[in-house]
Amino acid sequence: MVSTNKDPVLSVVYLSGGNDMLNTVIPYTDPNYRDRRPNIGIPEDQIVPFTNELGFHPSFAPIKKFWDEGKMAIILGTGYPHGTMSHFRSADIWATCEPVELIMDGWLGRTIQTLDPNVENVLTGVNFGRGMPRAMAKEAVPVASVADLSKYGLLTDFEREQERTAALDLFGRMYAPRIGRGKVDDFIRRLGIEALKGADILSTAPSKYQSEMEYENGNIGEYVRDMVQVHNANFGTRILFTSSAYSQWDTHANQLGGDLRARGHSALLANTVHNIDAYITDLRQLNISDNVVTLLYTEFGRRAQDNGTGTDHGAGGMAFVIGENVKGGLYGEYPSIKLEELDDDGNLKWNVDFRSIYTTILERWMGVDAKPIVNGAYEQLDFL
């Protein structure tokens, strides 16, 4: 476990929809890249090299500095056995660490319970966004959830009640058809509105925050800004979570487009990277970055061969871990993009089980036993 003078904090950013590994971290010296991406390949003169073989998408350039500082780990070829190309199911597997059965509780919910078994702090885990994230769901574990911290303190009691009820209702509508209405209703009834009462405390965070950092709207900007405010307020929060809009990174078409609303990959990367840069820099300028590790992940990668204007659902993906205590570098292997070495569906093959990433963070950063949280023993990586 990494030693810090403060309790270690984990912030998680989920890029919903399947970020394209091949056009984010580009094997620019591999001639197969142009064969796989004849229509949407990034021009060579726009690629930002960071090793002799790999380069970033030009929209990724603003956070290359964290790589240069040795504070960014890139995990290549993420996935799991018998992967699915269903957004909902793959996201659920990443959230619960359960690839076979549909279960209620998520890995971050289990982590929160491990960190605070007696529920001494209703703000141990906080979600930034609408709804109850699957990864944070756990019976008897309260998770504060707030969509917009800057406005929350201005809501009337009735409006707050409506927002809380809507968040739980969204969770119910998403999972009842798959798990069963009865089980979901029981879960929500036990969790109740009480689970979100920490949002009342959260409304005081903006008054404690002074920063000139500029975040961009449209993706995760408002949420990561609120993450900084909550961490800065020193509420004792250990888990911070947010997600892009559902399937926002599902770039079947218009992948080279510069419009967020049309799910242009270039636009999504530019907006997200700007906000991650602002987030990390904001933490640093406030002198509160030393005990935060940030994980960015997506549920799967994209098909190796482009479809003309975009890419279809794939398998092997990637994740990023950024923080002052991170040992920067490449972890895992870049999957082969030779046609004959793709899987049967034409996808990049995975080589790092995503539960190894979780295990590494839980054991080496959060200081807890990962096995009951990720449902097994998985190899640890050396980025912490």
Give 340-380 as a DSSP string.
GGS-TTSBPPP-EEHHHHHHHHIIIII-S--HHHHTS--PP
Q: Is residue 142 included in any domain, yes or no?
A: yes
Task: Identify the pLDDT of residue 130.
Answer: 79
Q: Is residue 217 included in any domain, yes or no?
A: yes
Q: Is residue 382 included in any domain, yes or no?
A: no
Our CA dihedral for 143, 225, 10, 15, rounded to 10 degrees, sits at 90
Residue 321 has φ and ψ, to the nearest 5°, of: -125, 125
Q: Is residue 37 included in any domain, yes or no?
A: yes
Q: Is residue 3 included in any domain, yes or no?
A: no
> What residue ranges of the chain have pLDDT lower than 50?
1-3, 153-156, 158, 189-190, 192-195
Place of tokens 């079947």: 252
Pull the structure tokens for residue 91.
């996201």
Task: Identify the pLDDT of residue 146.
Answer: 84
Domain enclosing residue 290, as ranges:
9-374
| Cβ neighbours for 227, distance < 8 A, ≥ 6 positions apart | 11, 128, 240, 242, 279
Between CA 104 and CA 251 the distance in angstroms is 29
Q: Can you give the CATH number for the domain in which 77 is found?
A: 3.40.720
Amino acid type, 109: G
Q: Is residue 384 included in any domain, yes or no?
A: no
Q: Is residue 235 included in any domain, yes or no?
A: yes
Place of tokens 């070829």: 77
Task: Identify the pLDDT of residue 118.
Answer: 93
Model confidence pLDDT, tens digit, residues 81-128: 999 999 999 999 999 999 988 888 999 999 999 999 999 998 999 999
- How many domains is the chain built from? 1
Q: Is residue 92 included in any domain, yes or no?
A: yes
Q: How many CA atoms lie within 13 A of 282 on its CB side?
A: 23
Give pTM, 2 decimals. Answer: 0.90
Model confidence pLDDT, tens digit, residues 261-279: 677 899 999 999 999 999 9
Task: Identify the pLDDT of residue 143.
Answer: 87
